[in-house]
A = this chain, B = another copy of it.
Amino acid sequence: MSEADLLETECEAVIESLCKIAGAANTLTEPSDMAAYLEDWTGQYHGEAIAVVRPASTHEVSEIVKLCAAKDIAIVPQGGRTGLCGGGVPVQGRHSVVVSLSRLNAIRSLDVAGRTFVVEAGAVLEVLQEEAAKNGLVFPLTFGAKGSCTIGGNLSTNAGGSNVVRYGNTRELCIGIEAVLPDGSIINALTGLRKDNTGYDIRHLLIGAEGTLGIITAAVFKLFPKPTSRATGFLAVSSLDAAIGVLNRIQDRTGGAVEAFEYMPQPAVDVICRVFPDIRPPLEGNVETGIMLEVASSRPSDAAEMEDGSIKFQNELMEIMGELMEDGLIIDAMVAQSEQQRGELWRLRESILEAITKAGPVYHLDISLPLANIAPFVEEMDREALRLGFRPLTVGHLGDGNLHYALACTDAERWAELPLEEVKSFAFSLLKRFNGSFSAEHGIGQSKLALMGTLKEPSQLAMMQVLKSAIDPKNIMNPGKMVVV
């Protein structure tokens, strides 16, 4: 037999074994069946695979990993394929099996008194939010992709979102995991203890590792009290630096109740209102530093209805804004007076990515900075972007120092001529100078792998390679993502 024939025979044997483990109906090999699993939401990444397998239990995942380890076949763990960095699609040059966790999607248990639930990796985020709500609690992780992303993918990318300022990233919400390691062994750490100092923290090592160190199959998460009153508003702040002061003041005055503190300057609002003509700017005039704010409270005293029909918590926010105005920190402000007005503010915020994308060609930076460095970074970056012919469109989760900085184009036809590499290179140097991160919440995957080599501290990069080689010596777990060994 030729080498090619030998490979084909080997692949067939692997497929046969996969069928035995997960069932033939859940072992896809036809190109048309596999197509959807071999590309992601961005449309930028396409891969090839021997098979796509959909295990229904942790035991099946373990058996699949053992099989692939024995045959030196790459494993690509896959959630909802909503990642933005190509982390869930196979790379070229390796025989790969895509392991879709979609059938491993049960909510195993929910402890109302202990305020935790144990969920499987393939559960869709929105389903988890709904289950928590049914039990009078909140699972606060949320972002645009919630209807299709899975919690396993959220864990593997340590997903963020708009209320990290109050509840933290996915990492901070998770208090236990179950996972299959590259040798097929299973780690069962689902006790959900708030305190447990018995050894190295393996959970945090697997969270955010993009499936390169093992496959997270289930996790325990904290649940939170359901807010009974909310106040949502839009502020025109006097400067980006003043915005940090405003955030701190509102945090102090509300007892840390800020759930969203979203930077929405005028250029971003303009693009949204142009692309979606039914959306109107929340404040009149040119709002250079616009902030969409939401505070929420579970205290019944905050939900009290006042004599004039207003809600106490909303009144308190208005009072705070009055003070901030007197102090010159904010110039103008509005507080939503109805659920409809609140919905309009959220629609404004949530339309931004679609609006920017529809408005023309664009390159997105997902970056973070120490709060004190945001203003000088934006100033220098805007100046250089404009000089090079780009239109900077910045929005961001300001409370976490996370900016989504879009390099758009004032004239779509000129896009190809614009010096994209030059402006990116400028951005990354500037970020380094200001102690920023070149990937705040989207991760590394394939798209930012090269940047790791140039921007990550060499000692940390070396440590990552030591960890990857030790835990996955055959380099079978999602190779070509996050770290090169």
Residues of A participating in the B interface, judged by any CB pair closer than 8 Å: 111, 113-116, 157-158, 160, 164, 169, 171-172, 181, 185-189, 191-202, 204-205, 207-209, 213, 224-225, 241, 244-245, 248, 251-257, 297-302, 316, 368-372, 397, 399-402, 435-444, 448, 452, 455-457, 459-464, 466-471, 482-483
Identify A198's interface contact among B252, B297, B371, B438, CB under 8 A.
B438
Which residues on B sit within 8 Å (CB–CB) of A470?
466-467, 469-471
Which residues on B sit within 8 Å (CB–CB) of A452?
198-199
Contact between chains at A195 and B160 (CB < 8 Å): yes
| A187-B463, A204-B201, A460-B187 given; A298·B193 CB < 8 A | no
Contact between chains at B255 and A297 (CB < 8 Å): yes
What 3 pairs across the A-B complex have the smallest Cβ distances? A470-B470, A204-B204, A196-B437
Instruction: Give me 8 A-to-B residue pairs in the complex whose CB atoms sit less than 8 angstroms apart, sorted by A's number.
Output: A157-B197, A185-B462, A186-B459, A195-B441, A196-B439, A200-B208, A251-B298, A255-B297
Which residues on B sit within 8 Å (CB–CB) of A471?
463, 466-467, 470
Inter-chain pairs besides A195-B401, A196-B368, A200-B208, 19 sampled, C-beta below 8 Å: A113-B248, A114-B244, A115-B248, A172-B172, A188-B457, A194-B368, A194-B402, A196-B440, A200-B209, A200-B482, A201-B204, A202-B460, A225-B251, A253-B300, A255-B255, A255-B297, A255-B302, A466-B470, A467-B467
Nearest CB in chain B: distance from A182 CB, A: 10
| A437-B196, A440-B197, A441-B197 given; A185·B459 CB < 8 A | yes
Nearest CB in chain B: distance from A55 CB, A: 18
Which residues on B sit within 8 Å (CB–CB) of A205?
200-201, 204-205
| A200-B209, A205-B204, A370-B114 given; A195·B400 CB < 8 A | yes
Identify A225's interface contact among B252, B448, B457, B459, CB under 8 A.
B252
Which residues on B sit within 8 Å (CB–CB) of A301?
316
Which residues on B sit within 8 Å (CB–CB) of A468?
200
| A245-B113, A464-B200 given; A436·B209 CB < 8 A | no
| A193-B369, A194-B401, A401-B194 given; A213·B200 CB < 8 A | yes
Give Cα A164 to B463, complex, Å.
30
Which residues on B sit within 8 Å (CB–CB) of A461?
199
Which residues on B sit within 8 Å (CB–CB) of A464?
199-200, 202
Nearest CB in chain B: distance from A395 CB, A: 15
State the number of copies, please: 2
| A193-B401, A255-B302, A370-B193 given; A198·B459 CB < 8 A | no
Contact between chains at B255 and A299 (CB < 8 Å): yes
Nearest CB in chain B: distance from A132 CB, A: 14
Contact between chains at B164 and A195 (CB < 8 Å): yes
| A466-B471, A470-B469 given; A444·B198 CB < 8 A | yes
Contact between chains at B467 and A371 (CB < 8 Å): no
Give Cα A274 to B69, complex, Å.
63
Which residues on B sit within 8 Å (CB–CB) of A114?
244, 370-372
Give Cα A353 to B483, complex, Å.
48
Nearest CB in chain B: distance from A9 CB, A: 33
Contact between chains at A169 and B189 (CB < 8 Å): no
Contact between chains at B466 and A299 (CB < 8 Å): no
Which residues on B sit within 8 Å (CB–CB) of A187?
457, 459-460, 463
Contact between chains at B256 and A298 (CB < 8 Å): yes
Which residues on B sit within 8 Å (CB–CB) of A181?
459, 463
Identify A201's interface contact among B171, B197, B438, CB under 8 A.
B171
Identify A208's interface contact among B169, B201, B224, B297, CB under 8 A.
B201
Which residues on B sit within 8 Å (CB–CB) of A244?
113-114
Contact between chains at B300 and A199 (CB < 8 Å): no
Contact between chains at B482 and A199 (CB < 8 Å): yes
Contact between chains at A194 and B400 (CB < 8 Å): yes
* Nearest residue, chain B, Cβ from A185: B459
Which residues on B sit within 8 Å (CB–CB) of A113?
241, 244-245, 248, 371-372
* Of A111, A192, A197, A316, most B-chain CB atoms within 10 Å: A197
Give Cα A300 to B171, complex, Å.
32
